[in-house]
């Protein structure tokens, strides 16, 4: 319970609308789990035993194609909800990219609690619809946008989501941040080759839209121009 009261994402997580009594009840059916970078939480196709809420850190969500290649579906940030309530199978792999802490619940216990507490069930519906909206935007990104537009979109999303996870939901996007994924992973996320991703980074640097210190430290120099690329 002390952990819940001090939780940095308390006002943004799926349990945000619950009162202290309900939080105490939810706490009884959940537990904290710490993941090391590279450690998996969920496996695609496995029986959906657990659901989880991300407290700190970041995970990648991925699937495996028929020929064995990994396709990254997206990134999961603090306050995001993982797993498939009301489903029998887990729809994706979830692997920690950094040191990560999650609140884990047995799916059947969480479903029962959500049914008995409509405010949580409503929050779950809102999250589900939000994920649907993001999936539709991602389909547009992969199907219609140029390589430059795809990379600019990802950089803007990372700066916004990292700001929300470290400074609160209403924080301004970060202008300086560390990329949580490698160039190859960015290529996998955006449906590009690593050579194309590297060329786009070089182009953004040469146009002084971003600055780079090494391969992962990014500084947004001209957010207005980055946003203009996305349109």
DSSP string, 125-189: HHHHHHHHHHHHHHHHHHHH--HHHHHHHHHHHHHHHHHHHHH-TTPPPPSEEE-SS-HHHHHHH
Residues 6+ apart with CB under 8 A from 209: 220, 221, 222, 225, 226, 229
Architecture of domain 2-140: Sandwich (2.60)
CATH number (1.10.10.10, 3.30.379.10, 3.40.50.12780, 1.20.990.10) of 145-230 reads 1.10.10.10
Q: Which two tokens stand for residue 150?
A: 């795809």
As a whole number of angstroms, the distance between CA 35 and CA 133 comes to 28
What does the pLDDT look like over 91-140, one tens digit per residue? 899 999 889 999 999 999 999 998 898 888 888 888 888 777 877 777 77
End-to-end C-alpha distance for the chain, whole angstroms: 45
The rounded average pLDDT for each run of 10 residues, N- to C-terminus, in the chain (231 residues) is 69 83 87 93 92 91 84 86 88 91 94 89 83 75 83 92 71 88 88 94 96 92 94 80
Identify whether the C-beta of residue 219 lies closer than 8 Å to the C-beta of residue 176: yes
- In the chain, where the domains are located: 2-140, 145-230
- Please say whether the dihedral angle defined by the alpha carbons of residues 229, 202, 198 and 97, taken in this order, is positive or negative: negative
Tokens 């495996």 locate to: 64
pTM over the 0.75 mark? yes
As a whole number of angstroms, the distance between CA 23 and CA 218 comes to 38
Helix (H) or strand (E) holding 52: strand 50-56
Other C-beta atoms closer than 10 Å to the C-beta of 189 total: 23
């Amino acid at each position: 319970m002390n952990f819940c009261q001090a939780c940095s994402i308390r006002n943004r997580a799926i349990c945000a609308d619950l009162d202290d009594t309900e939080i105490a009840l939810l706490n009884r059916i959940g537990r904290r789990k710490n993941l090391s970078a590279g450690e998996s939480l969920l496996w695609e196709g496995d029986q959906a035993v657990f659901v989880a809420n991300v407290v700190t850190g970041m995970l990648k969500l991925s699937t495996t194609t028929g020929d064995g290649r990994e396709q990254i579906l997206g990134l999961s940030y603090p306050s995001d909800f993982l797993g498939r309530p009301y489903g029998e199978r887990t729809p994706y792999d979830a692997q920690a990219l950094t040191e990560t802490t999650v609140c884990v619940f047995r799916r059947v216990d969480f479903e029962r609690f959500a049914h008995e507490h409509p405010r949580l069930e409503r929050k779950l519906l809102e999250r589900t619809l939000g994920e649907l909206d993001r999936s539709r935007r991602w389909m547009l990104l992969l199907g219609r946008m140029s390589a430059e537009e795809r990379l600019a979109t990802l950089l803007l999303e990372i700066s916004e989501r990292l700001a929300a996870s470290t400074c609160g939901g209403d924080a301004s996007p970060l202008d300086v941040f560390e990329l949580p994924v490698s160039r190859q992973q960015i290529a996998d996320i955006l449906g590009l080759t690593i050579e194309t991703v590297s060329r786009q980074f070089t182009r953004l640097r040469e146009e002084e839209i971003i600055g780079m210190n090494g391969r992962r430290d990014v500084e947004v120099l001209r957010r207005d121009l980055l946003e203009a690329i996305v349109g």
